[in-house]
Amino acid sequence: MNPTRRFTKRLLSLVTAAALAASTQAGAVTITRAFSSSWYDPDHAGHGLSLEVIDSAAGKSLVAYWYTFDSTGKPLWLIGQGVVEGESASMVLYSASGGSFTNGFDPSQVQLQEWGVAQLSFDDCTSGQWTFDPNDPALQGGSIPLQRLTETYQSSCSGGISDDRSATAAAGRIVEFLDNTGLQPLASGKADFEERADRTDFKVEAEDLASGTYQVRVGGIVRGDFDFAAGQLQAELEFRSPVEPGKLLLDFDPRGELVEIVGSGGVVLQRVFAAGGGSTTPPPPDGGGSAVQEIYELRVTTGHDGPELDAEYRVRGTRLKLSVELEDLAIGAYEVHVGGVLRGLVQVVTVPGGSEGEIEFSQPQDDDEMLLDFDPRGELFEIIRDGAVVLSGVMPLDPTQIDDFGDGDDDDGDDDDDHGGGSGGDDDDDDDHGGGSGGDDDDGDDDDDDDDDDDDDDDDDHGGGGG
């Protein structure tokens, strides 16, 4: 039999066996560099795996060193390398012979022999499965449950794609409006992907759908679903890495993939999500609301990994939505005051990598949200606990962003923040989204750096202080 065909056939049997084993366990997570460490089976001392997730010509790959024993009980060291495909990696394993202790041997005498094939997958950040099939008929194939033995220095594992993010990578955001297939002409939606230093978010939103249950497919794989009730205005599915309560783990990369919203009658909305830029195509008319959405943003930070307030107010025709999110505060309840009036409470809870809490308002009122019966623009936001103001800032009176569907020019005239994919012009205004006195954007990048992770004094002052 052709060696390539034989290898493919054996790998297929391994994949099938691994899938059957995984069907009784929790969903697998994507393999990232956070899995580079030592792994073992506590019930079989002396066996173990050292793993490295590396760059290669074929893309992200996993190198495995398996410390085991041969059929006579002698120590055996096997090595293999395979391309990472989501939550698994398959590879050919090789053994070496012809060497000797120290450097006194002839490297040309070292011979590599194909030992068999193997596949590795993980259930979570601390456990996985090693499935193998040796060439030697005297050796039996099988599967070994693995547990993490070590973790690299000052690293953390979430199981999501943010674990592979470079520490020096710039923050970025992509917004794509989904195309209507004609199945439900009034429906509209968009997908929003954002990378920040501390997390990666992906959100799929839909409006004006017929009542029913809808799946969100990315790259042909169902990633989640949501219900849309009669009279409901909007629904969304949110993914995050690291994950937090109320959201799904973002263990896949949507960039360059087909994003679909699928109902009982078929695909309602779809679009190939951009690999590195926003949409330049407007959505179909929604038959009711305005096609332009104004976004007002307030972000207050107190330094790297310090407490943070993120408030966002969206206006689309007669539809209004306000969200207030708190991060990295002490666990407990916090009052949200807007314009000196108590508007609600945020319960901050522990999440991987810190703490977080959120409250949402809408008009017309959506399920599980509070009625938005006040205008937050130009108002002072105060986060209060035990009578003390913890964070505060002023929501801007003018939009910090307008989704004008990529016509290249923001309608507010300042040509900033075209997150919808159009090419914005120069950022001539002071961009003081926090309500204080903003300085000029003289760093030359003409963008609205919402994250300000580089601590440049000349970036936008979202926190309400002086520029």
Query: Would residue 164 count as lying in a domain?
Result: no
Are both 251 and 352 inside the same structural domain? no
- Does 81 share its domain with 197? no
CATH number at residue 436: 2.60.40
Domain co-membership, 214 together with 257:
yes
Query: What's the whole-model pTM score?
Result: 0.54
Token pair for 284:
């179909």
CB-based burial label for 84 (10 Å; 0-12, 13-18, 19+): buried
**Per residue in 347-404, pLDDT tens?**
999 887 788 999 999 988 887 789 999 999 999 999 999 999 999 999 999 988 776 5
CATH number at residue 148: 2.40.128
Domain count, the chain: 3
Residues contacting residue 212 through CB under 8 Å, at least 6 positions apart: 227, 228, 263, 264
| Pairing of the two strands 293-301 and 308-316 | antiparallel
Judged against a pLDDT cut of 90, whether residue 29 lies above it is answered with: no
Same domain as 372, residue 273: no
Domain that holds residue 269: 169-287
What local confidence, expressed as pLDDT, does residue 282 receive? 44
| 413 and 313 both lie in a single domain | yes
Same structural domain, 116 and 174:
no
pLDDT confidence bin for 211, thresholds 50/70/90: very high
In this structure, which amino acid lies at residue 266? Answer: G
Quick one: 260 and 306 in the same domain? Answer: no
Q: Quick one: the chain helix, strand, coil %, rounded to 5? A: 5, 45, 50
Q: Is the pLDDT of residue 135 over 50?
A: yes
Residue 406 to residue 343: CA distance in whole angstroms = 35
Q: Cα–Cα distance between 314 and 322 in angstroms, integer?
A: 6
Rounded to an integer, the average pLDDT of 235-243 is 92
Same domain, 309 and 226: no
**DSSP annotation string for 166-224:** -TTPPPEEEEEEPEE-SSSTT-EEEEEEEE-SS-EEEEEEEESPPSEEEEEEETTEEEE
**Domain-embedded: residue 163:** no
Are both 41 and 189 inside the same structural domain?
A: no
Q: Which two tokens stand for residue 251?
A: 């263990």
Q: 191 with 296, same domain? A: no
Same-domain pairing of 342 and 394: yes
- Do 267 and 377 lie in one domain? The reply is no
Lowest mean pLDDT among 25-34, 75-84, 160-169, 442-451: 442-451
Report d(CA 218, CA 261) in Å as an integer.
9
Distance CA 294, CA 310 (A): 17
- Is 180 in contact with 282 (CB distance < 8 Å)? no
* Res. 436: pLDDT tops 50: no
Within a domain: residue 30? yes
Peptide bond before residue 242 is cis, with ω within 30 degrees of 0: yes
Residue at which a domain ends, from 258, 287, 316: 287
Domain boundary, last residue among 267, 287, 307 = 287
